[in-house]
Amino acid sequence: MKKQDIRNFSQEDLLRFLQGKNQKAFNATQIFSWIYKKGAEDFDSMSDLSLELRQILKKNFYFSKLIVEAIKESRDGTKKILFKLEDSSLIETVLIPSKERNTICLSSQVGCRFSCKFCASGIKGFKRNLSTAEIVSQVLFVKKYFFNVQLTHIVFMGTGEPLDNYENVLRAVRIFNSTYALNIGARRITISTSGVISGIKKLAKENLQVEISVSLHASDNKIRNNIMPINKKYPLQDLIRACRQYFLLTKRQITFEYILIHNLNCTLDDAKRLSFLLKGFDFKLNLIPYNKIAEFNFEPPIKLEVLFFQNQLSKMGIKSTLRLPRGTDINAACGQLRFYAETKNNTNLRELHTNFR
């Protein structure tokens, strides 16, 4: 077997591997604890494992490294880290501290194949899925080197479509959630999707309490087809039906994300259509002013549009929360993360550069 990053293994995978090598079941728990609780990055430091087991592990596994290419810090405390992966691909991870929570926003893919017409992450297309190890390492790295305070929430809202990398993302979620690993409650982990119905259906059967966010962004198929090509495969009515079924099966409330784009999707008619679509089931709705992306012609909404839209929805019995963007000054806000980030010789990117390894 080719050596692989041990963080690609779930606890069950590790257990199976160890059993195959005549090792004890509790060794899997010990190894998990070394990696995820104590932050071990080599097998020699796992001092309570037998020498034989450490040799077995060394022969079969390794720890890949995330290299910090750059770090930027926003005026509002948000930090963006640009990581280089083993194959030199670059990904971004964002840390969003606030009074009551510390959130990490993870990337799930290098680039994105969904090409939403308002999002920078898809501009250069799709390169590859991240492995479970690469997803989990973003959190381990931040825990180890950044947050002095507790990391409380994980959101898959960085680059990529998490439900397009289903297996690796779910394995990572289980590692975050496991009491033997990071012990982060599933309800504090959010998977955001552009509306991959097949993934939503699968997720409904996982018996996991994760939060799910669905990026809606339009009230009818015409507008949604134009700004989110995935709508041609999974049209709005089918998406909402899948969400209703998800709720019926899991009793978990879905959060809909709706970005407000000037003169496009926040008129009275949009409010009417949206309230009709969402009528009669339990959900949360976040309204997010569009963050300007230089390559696209869309503009953020004016204040009046935002207030009008929210007010109209409210009159129709739809409660919503207005979300204010974080980290816009360092291009770390929603939709601003991009495949290969800014060009590498941008000196700004090196402002806070720290050579960790």
Query: Which residues lie near ligand SAH (CB under 6 A)?
Result: 116, 118-119, 157, 161, 192-194, 215, 257, 259, 288, 290-291, 293, 334-335
Least separation in angstroms between CB 15 and ligand SAH: 32
Least separation in angstroms between CB 94 and ligand SAH: 11
In angstroms and rounded to an integer, the radius of gyration of the C-alpha atoms of the chain is 21
Least separation in angstroms between CB 192 and ligand SAH: 4
Q: Which is nearer to ligand SAH, 50 or 198 (CB)?
A: 198
Q: Which is nearer to ligand SAH, 254 or 334 (CB)?
A: 334
CA proximity to 127, closest of 110, 147, 104, 144: 110
CA proximity to 278, closest of 308, 242, 318: 318
β-pairing verdict for 189-193 and 211-215: parallel
In sequence order, what are the beta bridge partners of 289?
260
C-beta separation of 261 from 304 below 8 A: no
Least separation in angstroms between CB 124 and ligand SAH: 15
Least separation in angstroms between CB 174 and ligand SAH: 20
Residue with tokens 């230089």: 294
Residue sitting closest to ligand SAH (CB): 335
Catalytic residue list? 92, 334
Using DSSP, state whether 259 is helix, strand or coil: strand
Q: Which is nearer to ligand SAH, 119 or 332 (CB)?
A: 119
Q: Which is nearer to ligand SAH, 57 or 157 (CB)?
A: 157
Length of the chain: 357
C-beta separation of 116 from 265 below 8 A: no
Q: Which is nearer to ligand SAH, 161 or 270 (CB)?
A: 161
- 347, with CB counted inside 10 A (0-12, 13-18, 19+), is exposed
DSSP labels, 287-347: EEEPPP-TTS---PPPHHHHHHHHHHHHHTT---EEPPP--GGGT-STT---TT-S-TT-G
Rounded to the nearest 5 degrees, what angle is found at the Cα of 132, between the Cα atoms of 131 and 134? 65
